[in-house]
Amino acid sequence: MAALDGTPSSGQDAPSAWLGAALAPLRPAYLQALLLSLGISVLGVFAAVFSLQVYDRVIAKGGLSTLVALVTGMVLAIGLEFGLRQARALLMQRLGAQVEVALARAVYERLTCLPLARLESLPPGYWQTVFRDIELVRTTTTGAPALLLVDLPFLLLTLALVGLIAWPMLPVTLLTLAGFGLLAWRSERVLKPGHAQERERLLSRDLLQADLAASRLHLKGLGPSPALGQRWEQAYARWMQDSLARSREMDHYRDLAQGMSVASTVIGTSAGALFILQQLMTMGGLIACNILAGKLVQPMVQLVGQWRVYGQFQAASRRLDELLGHALDRGQAGVALPRPRGTLLMEGLHFRYPGQEQDQISRLSGQIGPLGLHAVVGANGSGKSTLLKLLRGLYPPSAGRVLIDGADLRQFGQLDLAGMVGYLSQQPRLVAGSIRDNIALGLPGASDAQIVAAARQAGAYEFIVQLPQGFDTDVGEGGGRFSGGQRKRIAIAQTLIGDPPVLLLDEPTSDLDSVAEQAFAATLRQLAQDHTVIVVTHSPALLTQCQGILVLDRGSLAAAGPARELLPRLGLATPRPAPAGPTAGAPSGTPSGMPAGPASGGTVRAAGPQPVQEVAA
Ligand SMILES: Nc1ncnc2c1ncn2[C@@H]1O[C@H](COP(=O)(O)OP(=O)(O)OP(=O)(O)O)[C@@H](O)[C@H]1O
C-alpha cells in the first residue's frame, strides 16, 4: 500500500523505474551534453596553463612573442568555451522541455484515466504537488544539479593536470578533496533523512490549502472560523519549522564548505611556497595549481549545497513513480460491438469501497430495461450513486457482474462505455472554458447543430442564447458564473450530446425549478421511448413519471417492479394514464401522465423470487 504522497511503504531507495524509462530516449542527447562538458573541462584548464607559461616563460625569460601567442590562444579558448557552454545550455534546455512535456502528458493521462476509486483517493492538493514535482524533476535532471554531476568525472582530468604541472602538490590536493568528500558525505547523511518529514508536512499543508481554496465560498457563508484558522496555522507552522531547521542545517554545511575552501587555498599556497623554497616546483606551477584547485573545490562546495535538491528530487520521483506505475482504465475494447439496445443486467453484484469493512452494495441482482424511464430510490447513503457508478463501469464490482445487452461491462474500455452509457454525476462541475467547450466535452468534435440540440433537450438553450456572448460565454471557475440550476442544465447537455443508448442520471432535477423539472421529465419520457433512462431521484414529480422503480436499502435491493405497484408504497399517487404518444410537447408545469408498467417498453425486475417489500423512500 502506498502513502498519499506516493512514497512506497517499503523499498524507499528503490531506483526510479519510470524516470529511467522516461529519460531513456534522451540518452543520446545526454551523451552529447557529456561530450560538450568534456570540451568545456579541457578548455577550462587553459587558464592554468596560461598562468604557468606567463610566470615561468614570459616573466622569467622575457618572451614577449610567447605572451602574444599565449594571449591569442587564450582568446580562442575563451571564445570556444563560450560557444560550447551556449550549445550545452541550449541542449539542456531542449532536454528539459522534452522531459517536462513527457511527464506532464503522463500525469495528465493519470488525472483523466486512473480508475475512479484511485482518483477519489487523491485530493486536489496531491495533484498540485505532483505538477510541482514535474518542474523539480526537470530542473534537477537538466539544470544546474545535472550539470554538476556531469562535470564531476572531469575533475579527474584537472587532478591529472595538477600532477603534471607540479607533482608535489598532488598529495595536498588529494587530501583537500578527501576533506571535501568527507564533508559532502556527512552533509548528505544529516540532510537527507529529514527530507521525508519536510515533504510530508509540505504535502499536508498543500492538501489543507487546496481544500480551503476550493471551499472558500462555502466557508464565507459559514462566517470566519477561528478553529479552521488555527488548524491551517498549525499545518503551516509545522512545515515552516521543519523547513527552517533544514535550511539552518544546510547553511551550516555550506558555510563550512566555504570556510574549507578558503582554508584549502591557504594550505595549498603555504605548501606550494615550501615546495618552491625547496626548488621542487616553480612560481608558475603554484599559481596554476591554485587555479586548478579552485576548479576542483568549487563543484564540491556546490555539491554540499545541493543535497536538499537531490533529496527533494528523490521524493518527487518516488511520488511520480508510484502515480505513473498505476494501471490506467482501459481506453477501448479490441472489437467494437453494435450499439446496445440498453438492457442492464446485474448478477450477484457486490461492491466495497477500498478500506471499508462492509459492502456498500450487496447481493444485487435484477434487470433494468431495455428502454423506459426507471428510478433508483432509497434513503441517503443507501448506495444509489454507487450503483449508478457500477452500472457505468466506473467501479469494478467486488463480486458479480453487470451486463449490457448480454455483454460483460468489464470487456469495454472507458471510451466504449462513454459512448454506450451517458452518466451525469450527482454534483457535476464545469471546467474553465466556454459553454460550447463544456457541452462538447461529452462528444469531442461535436457540430454546432449537435450542441444546440443537446442544449435544447437539457432546457439550457433559452438562457444560453440570452447571454451577450451566447455559447461562447466563459463559465468561470467550476461554472461559478451560473446558478446551480443553469450549471446542471449545461451538465445535462454534456451527458445527452453523444446520444448514448443508456442514460444514468444522478439527481438530474435536484437544482431545477419546478417548471424546468416538469419540462425535463417530459424530455426524459420522450427519450425513454428509444433509450434506457435510469434516474436517481428523491423528486415526486420525476418519480411519478417513471415506469419502473428500484428501491435500495443499505446497499441491498429492498424492492423492484413497475412504478404503478411501488409508487403507492412510497406514499405517492400513481399518475392517471395519458393518451399514447410523445409527451415532450406537454405544457410546462403540467405533469404528463404515462402508461405505467412495462407496456411502454421499460422493465425493472428483481432476479429470482424476491418479494417486493414495503419501503420508505
Ligand atoms: N468514495 C467513497 N469512499 C468510501 N465510502 C463511500 C464513498 N462514496 C460513498 N461511500 C459510502 O457508500 C455508501 C453509499 O453512498 P452513496 O453515495 O452511493 O449513497 P446515496 O444513496 O447515493 O446517498 P445520497 O442520497 O445521500 O446521495 C455510504 O455509506 C457512503 O458513506
List the residue whose alpha carbon is closest to atom 7 of ligand 1: 353
- Its domain, for residue 512, covers 344-432+499-606
Confidence of residue 401 (pLDDT cuts 50, 70, 90): very high
Q: Which residue has the cell 549545497?
A: 305
pLDDT, greater one: 442 or 506: 506
**The CA-based dihedral angle spanning residues 81, 86, 87, 88, taken in that order and rounded to the nearest 10 degrees:** 90
Ligand 1 contacts CB of residue 382 (under 6 A): yes
Q: State the cell numbers at 317.
A: 520521483
The domain boundary, picked from 293, 324, 355, lies at 324
d(CA 199, CA 201): 5
- For residue 339, being part of any structural domain is answered with no
Pair 316, 252 in one domain: yes
State which of 23-32, 329-338, 429-438 shows the largest mean pLDDT: 429-438
Mutate to test the pocket of ligand 1, among 353, 358, 538 (most ligand atoms within 8 A of CB): 353
Q: For residue 9, what pLDDT is reported?
A: 36
* CATH number of the CATH domain containing 392: 3.40.50.300
Mean pLDDT value of segment 292-308 = 83
User: Is the CB of 506 inside a 6 Å radius of any atom of ligand 1?
Assistant: no
Q: Are residues 114 and 257 in the same domain?
A: yes
Three-state SS at 110:
helix
Ligand 1 pocket test target in 384, 511, 550, 556 with most atoms within 8 Å of CB:
384
Q: CB–CB of 597/567 below 8 Å?
A: no
Within a domain: residue 613? no
Mean pLDDT of 185-197: 76
Computed over every residue of the chain, the mean pLDDT equals: 83
Residue 301 pLDDT > 50: yes
User: 352 C-alpha to center of ligand 1: Å?
Assistant: 10
Cα(377) to centroid(ligand 1), Å: 13
| 74 and 46 both lie in a single domain | yes
Number of domains in the chain: 2
CATH number at residue 280: 1.20.1560.10
Ligand 1 atom 14: residue of nearest CA: 383
Nearest to 589 by CA among 510, 511, 522: 522
> Based on the domain organization, do 319 and 359 belong to the same domain?
no
Does any domain span residue 5? no
pLDDT of residue 295: 87
Percent of the chain's residues with pLDDT above 70? 89
pLDDT for res 348: 93
Bridge partners of 372, per DSSP, are 532
CA–CA distance, 324 with 333 (Å, rounded to integer) = 22
Residue 332 domain flag: no
The verdict on the CB of residue 352 being under 6 Å from ligand 1 is no
Residues 384, 260 within the same domain: no
According to the model, what pLDDT value does residue 440 have?
93
Q: Does one domain contain both 391 and 293?
A: no
385 lines ligand 1 (CB under 6 A): yes
- SS3 at position 380: coil
Q: Are the C-beta atoms of residues 505 and 495 closer than 8 Å to each other?
A: yes
Instruction: Assign 61 a pLDDT band (cuts: 50, 70, 90).
Output: confident
Determine if ligand 1 sits within 6 Å of the CB of residue 381.
Answer: yes
Residue 307 in any domain: the answer is: yes
Let me know whether 124 and 199 are in one domain.
yes
* Nearest Cα residue to 565 out of 545, 548, 543, 540: 548
Q: How far is the CA of 555 from the centre of ligand 1 (A)?
A: 10
> Does the pLDDT value for residue 460 go beyond 50?
yes
- Kindly state if the Cβ of 255 falls inside 6 Å of ligand 1: no
Q: Report yes or no on 204 lying in a domain.
A: yes
The number of the ligand 1 atom at minimal distance from the alpha carbon of 382 is: 21
User: What is the grid cell recorded at 496?
Assistant: 445527452
Nearest protein Cα to ligand 1, atom 30:
381
Is 209 contained in some domain? Answer: yes
Contact 308, 264 (CB under 8 A): no
Give the pLDDT score at 346.
94
pLDDT of residue 71: 93
Instruction: Quote the CA–CA distance of 434 and 218 in Å, as a whole number.
Output: 24
Same domain? 348 vs 313: no
Binding site membership of 383 for ligand 1 (Cβ less than 6 Å): yes
Better-predicted residue by pLDDT, 272 or 325? 272
Q: What is the pLDDT of residues 94-147, one digit of tens each?
A: 888 988 888 899 899 999 899 998 999 898 888 988 998 999 889 888 888 888
- Model confidence at 334, in pLDDT bands (50, 70, 90)? low
| Mean pLDDT, range 528-552, rounded to an integer | 91
Query: Helix, strand, or coil here: 443?
Result: coil
Residue 79 burial (C-beta neighbours within 10 Å; 0-12, 13-18, 19+): exposed
Residue 270: all three cell numbers together = 603555504
Shared domain check, 292 and 233: yes
Residues 113 and 178 in one domain: yes
Share of residues in the chain with pLDDT > 90 (%): 34
Q: Hey, which of 360, 389, 511, 552 would you mutate to test ligand 1's pocket, going by the most ligand atoms within 8 Å of its Cβ?
A: 360
How many angstroms separate the alpha carbon of residue 554 from the centre of ligand 1?
A: 10
ipTM of the complex: 0.97
> Last residue of some domain: 324, 358, 384?
324
Point out which residues pair with 604 in neighbouring strands.
368
Residue nearest to atom 24 of ligand 1 (CA): 380
Question: How many A from CA of 202 to the centre of ligand 1?
Answer: 30
Residues 219 and 126 in one domain: yes
d(CA 420, CA 412): 10
pLDDT at 595 over 60: no
Q: Is residue 560 part of a domain?
A: yes
Q: Which three cell numbers stand for residue 527?
A: 427519450
Question: Is residue 367 domain-shared with residue 236, that is, in the same domain?
Answer: no
Q: Which residue among 264, 291, 324 closes a domain? A: 324
Instruction: Say what the pLDDT of residue 576 is.
Output: 54
pLDDT at 527: 87
Q: Which residues does 72 contact at the CB level (< 8 Å), separation at least 6?
A: none
Q: Is the CB–ligand 1 distance for residue 378 below 6 Å? A: yes
Task: Provide mean pLDDT across the span 427-455.
Answer: 91
Segment holding 557, helix H or strand E:
strand 556-562
Q: Which of 111, 87, 266 is nearest to 176 (CA)?
A: 266
Ligand 1 contacts CB of residue 427 (under 6 A): no
CA 385–ligand 1 middle distance (angstroms): 7
